[in-house]
Structure 1
Amino acid sequence: MPELTIGLTAAHRGESGQSLPVHPQHLASLHAEVRSRLFFETGYGTPFGLTDDDLARVSGGVCTRRLIFSECDVVLLYKPVREDFLDLTEGQILWGFPHFEQTGEPPWAPNDRRHAVIAREPSLDGSGNGSFAPPIGEQLEEMAAYGSVTHALASTGRTGRWGPPVHAVVLGDGPLGDGAVAALQAQGITRLTRVTKRFPAALDAARDGLRTVQLVVDDAGECHAVSTSGHLALRDLLTQHDLIVNCLGQDADVPLPLLPPDQPYPLRPGTLVVDVSREQGAGPGRARPAAFTPVRHGADGVQYYAADDHPSYWWNSATWMLSRAILPHLGTVASGRARWLAQGGDTGLGL
């Protein structure tokens, strides 16, 4: 029989965040005993077309955020911030995606008041053979880039299927770059170059209209795009395109000089710069972090869009994906520490 109660808040304090940890459509698949231990914040079901009464009938109940933080044993949050930890009562457990792996340790001390944290980082797939499940974070990154590019194009009223041809370049590897490329191709943009830090298996080989070149930084710190036909200064490559998507993760203290804001560069008026990586001072040109707000028009005629790096544009789909990853563990967490230890200890749950 489950022993712990789990509270789910209707919103988080992260900028523009709308994704939630459990999708209401998944509740029917849970055992009644597990559902009875789930308590939702007032309004949690509203974005999904459900009233508080609808949600209360298939869960332990609906209550205020204050009651969740004061009464529930576990608080389930997608992206907790410092203020959420400060709201916890002594001995309470926070379960979510705090991204401790990015810094090695939290910027606050959750153990000051005997808090426990269940960090949803790379997890075991439950098969018992030590295999890891596909990282949900990578899927969300891909979705975030897809949403940012789609929203930026819509905000500037352009597409590759109709109107003037669009020449696009994507900077970056991994899920963010994959999502950006997928979004551009879905919009009919076929004149597409991808700049990668890795050595491409097929440098310059065009696949589905996608040409890949390598990013190389010389001893002087200048960036170059290397292809089989030679190399070109990165800034010169970028100025040949009218849509630039930056997905490069960087050190904001020592950013790569993609398009230094203090140097003139001949981007054509109307060029759209989309900064998906959203790192202050590390993006191309004059791109600055922002939420899902209108594209900013620079004095140089260039359009800048820098969206937050979460998939809020597709918040319903993102909630579904998060929920599928969390659902198998709800019963285990609600069952309490005795069962956690019986299933392999605090590090063997795949949570």
Structure 2
Amino acid sequence: MKIGIPKEIKNNESRVGMTPAGVFELTKKNHTVYVQSSAGEGSGFFDKNYLEVGAIILPTIEEVYSESEMIVKVKEPIAEEYSLIKKNQIVFTYFHFASSEALTKAMIKSKSICIAYETVEDEEGTLPLLTPMSEVAGRMAIQQGAKYLEKPVKGRGILLGGVPGVTPGKVLILGAGVVGVQAAKMAAGLGAHVTIMDINMKRLRYVNDVLPNHVITAFSSEYSIRQLIKTHDLIVGGVLVKGGKAPKLITKDMLKEMRPGTVVVDVAVDQGGCFETTKPTTHQDPTYIIDDVVHYCVANMPGAVPYTSTIALTNVTLPYILKLANLGWEKACKLDESLNKGLNIVKGEVVYNEINEAFNLN
């Protein structure tokens, strides 16, 4: 199969769809891999590294799309790429269709085969291709939140871990999934007081078993959220609905209950966000303030650490990419139920129910 790795063109996105190690595994199986010139530079992988493992370097994004039967990316195609996607072309990437009607309609029109990393689901019901980026984003949520609690960037002026004689900062985490657990680990490691909330008691029991005693679990309800936001310095939204829009757990009126300089980090921004006041931001302009509350809502948080993120992503996507390349998408999805669940749009037809529900396409 002919596989294309274009350069990501989303604002401040430095990740690349595949490492040279991944390309080597494909060329070893006699597949042809086209890599756009300088596509990997932001992640620390250079054209010469790809050439050494048998890739063909193409100068433009147009050529990569034109020559390839399958496109392997990191982020969803943006408007400039819509017209480059061909009928029957496989596009394997993070799509998050439920948060963008324009993207959904463009991919329907393209009549391509859209396989979304974030809806590939294994036998245990986990999302193996979303997990590594959720791990990165969960840890970064605390790293970034701690930074924006500083006074020069309009935060409360809180050091999360405190110092002897001074109470540590308080972190509230909504959701005890991969993002929430990783955020809790980081916050606890800094010495912060951490409360993690969920409606799934099994997850809360797991958190209670694996995290330190100063990480407190709480059952999530609107009432309990309203009480806790009054006293917490950093609030992380990490709630996931598979393939669908995130629920709005913090409404605009709740911001007035928070102390000035409170920081909210919405890791669910790719799926519409779990705060009513969420709007996507970029690494170039990451924050905005509403009612004296600092919002950090960067839609591609792992893009800030591209070396770590690209390797972590290729580690999990490569087995699926090899199946698609070796067998073709139809046979691969028929034989692998996990991959079959990744199918979102096929030749103009939406085949993932949550997307239909998001935009009333039925």
TM-score by length of 2: 0.72
1:76 alignment partner, one of 72, 78, 83: 72
Does structure 2 conserve the Cα–Cα contact (< 8 Å) formed by 1:94 and 1:117?
yes
Deviations 1:162-221, CA, capped at 9 Å, x for gaps: 5452122212231221122122123221x11122222344999994301111123xxxxx
Q: 1:201 to 1:6 in 2, by over 3 A?
A: closer
* Structure showing the higher helix proportion among its residues: 2
Q: Does 1:311 align with 2:316?
A: no
Q: Does 1:97 align with 2:94?
A: yes
User: Partner of 2:195 in structure 1?
Assistant: 193
Q: Which residue of 2 aligns with 1:275?
A: 266
Indicate whether 1:38 and 2:41 are aligned. no
Q: Pick one of 6, 9, 15 that aligns with 2:6.
A: 9
Q: Match of 1:215, as an amino acid? A: S
| Deviation for aligned residue 1:161 | 3.7
- Mapped to 1, the partners of 2:24 and 2:227 lie a distance apart of 56
> Does the CA contact (< 8 Å) of 1:235 and 1:259 recur in 2?
no
Contact 1:144–1:313 (8 Å) recurs in 2: no
Do the aligned partners of 2:5 and 2:73 also contact (CA within 8 Å) in 1? yes
The 1:26–1:238 alpha-carbon spacing in structure 2 relative to 1, beyond 3 Å, is same
Matched residue of 1:87: which SS? coil
Contact 2:264 2:294 in 1 (8 A): yes
SS in structure 1 at match of 2:264: strand
Give me the whole-angstrom Cα distance separating, in 2, the residues matched to 1:133 and 1:244.
25
What 5-or-longer segments of structure 1 have no aligned partner?
Answer: 125-129, 217-222, 226-233
Task: Give the Cα–Cα distance (whole angstroms) in 2 for the partners of residues 49 and 273 of structure 1.
Answer: 31
1:87 and 2:84 matched: yes
The answer (yes or no) to whether the contact 1:143–1:311 under 8 Å persists in 2 is: yes
- 2:334 is matched with 347
Other-structure match for 1:231:
none
The answer (yes or no) to whether the contact 1:93–1:117 under 8 Å persists in 2 is yes
Q: Show the counterpart of 1:160.
A: 160
Cα pair distance change 1:275/1:50, threshold 3 Å: closer
Is the counterpart of residue 139 in structure 1 residue 132 in structure 2?
yes
| Count of residues in Structure 1 that have an aligned counterpart in Structure 2 | 318
Shift of the alpha carbon at 1:40? 0.4
State the AA in 2 paired with 1:143: V
- Is contact 1:149-1:180 (8 Å) kept? yes
Matched with 1:260 is 252
Confirm or deny: 8 A CA contact 1:7 1:72 kept in the other structure: yes
Quote the RMSD (CA, aligned, Å).
Answer: 3.9
Return the offset for 1:53. 3.4
Which secondary structure state, in structure 2, belongs to the residue aligned with residue 136 of structure 1? coil
Q: Secondary structure at the match of 2:91?
A: strand
- Once the two structures are superposed, what CA deviation does each residue of 1:277-305 show, in whole Å capped at 9, x if it has no partner? 23668517x554322335445564x4332
The 3-state SS of whatever aligns with 2:186 is helix
Shift of 1:317: 1.8
Tell me the amino acid that sits aligned with residue 335 of structure 2.
G
* One-letter amino acid matched to 2:196: R
For residues 112-148 of structure 1, give each alpha carbon's deviation from its aligned partner in whole angstroms, at most 9, with x where no partner exists. Answer: 5653344444256xxxxx8888622133223212212
| Bigger radius of gyration among the two | 1
Tell me if 1:115 matches 2:112: yes
Q: Is the 8 A contact 1:91 1:116 kept in 2?
A: yes
Whole-Å separation in 2 of the counterparts to 1:60 and 1:48: 17
The correspondence for 2:56, drawn from 61, 69, 73, is 61
Greater mean alpha carbon deviation, residues 197-206 or residues 75-84: 197-206
Q: How does 1:238-249 map to 2 (within 5 A)?
A: 238-249=229-240
Distance 1:19 1:55 in 2: 15
Alignment partner, residue 224 of structure 1: 223
CA contact (8 A) 1:141 1:310 kept: no
Decide whether the 8 Å contact of 1:17 with 1:310 is kept in 2: no
Unaligned residue ranges in structure 2 (runs of 5+): 151-157, 340-362
Q: CA deviation at 1:11?
A: 0.9
Alpha carbons of structure 1 residues 101 and 152: separation in structure 2 relative to 1, 3 Å: closer
Instruction: Say whether 1:177 aligns with 2:180.
Output: yes
Contact 1:148/1:313, CA 8 A, preserved across alignment: no
Residues 246, 65 of structure 1: CA spacing in aligned structure 2 closer, same or farther, 3 A cutoff? same
Using a 3 Å threshold, how does the CA distance of structure 1 residues 50 and 95 change in structure 2: closer, same or farther?
Answer: closer
Supply the AA of the counterpart residue of 2:144: H
Distance 1:37 1:287, change over 3 A: closer
**Offset, 1:52:** 2.4
